[in-house]
Amino acid sequence: MLAKVDYQKAKSKTINFFDRVGIVLTSEEKQSIEVADFGLNELEVQGLELITYINNEHYCAKELVLFPNQTCPEHKHPHVGEIKGKTETFRCRWGKVWLYVEGKPSEAMQATVPVGSEDYYTVFHEVELNAGEQYTIPPNTLHWFQADGRGAIISEFSTTSRDESDIFTDPRIKRTPEVAE
């Protein structure tokens, strides 16, 4: 569970990232920033900060912020009944992010798997995204990603997001953030 003071610090840090690169947010968007520590209580190591601009029955658009060396844990977006899993395109807007997807493992990984969570990272085909580069992840594909030492901002364009249906490799993960008062 994330302490309220840490949650507020993370939101402020996220707003500073957007300000630094000139992405303007409304006051409502600033209020709606989600801080996901995934219930692991190590936000700076494994976590993600995001804003959902729109998510409807046709499409979704989000901005994802990764703090320096922060990792979004391995997961996939499965099919839900007759509905295909989420297809998502990541476009790096600022910084550098290493995305790992299913496929032949890369010989020299640039990211570091978080200590103590090694058993929960299983895909190692590396895709390096620098500002202006993008990659599309098919539905039901295991993936994880990590920012370099400066952090990163990623625009996500996808089919409808059903975050509550995401399957994480690490069974300790809770997708819905819990903030202590």
DSSP structure string for 95-125: EEEEEEESSSPPSS--S-PPTT-GGG----E
pLDDT of residue 19: 97
Nearest-angstrom CA–CA distance, 44 and 136: 26
More confident call, 117 vs 177: 117
CATH class, range 2-180: mainly beta
- What's the pLDDT tens digit per position in 13-60? 999 999 999 999 999 999 999 999 999 999 999 999 999 999 999 999
Tokens of 159: 């089919």
- What's the pLDDT tens digit per position in 96-145? 999 999 999 999 999 999 999 999 999 999 999 999 999 999 999 999 99
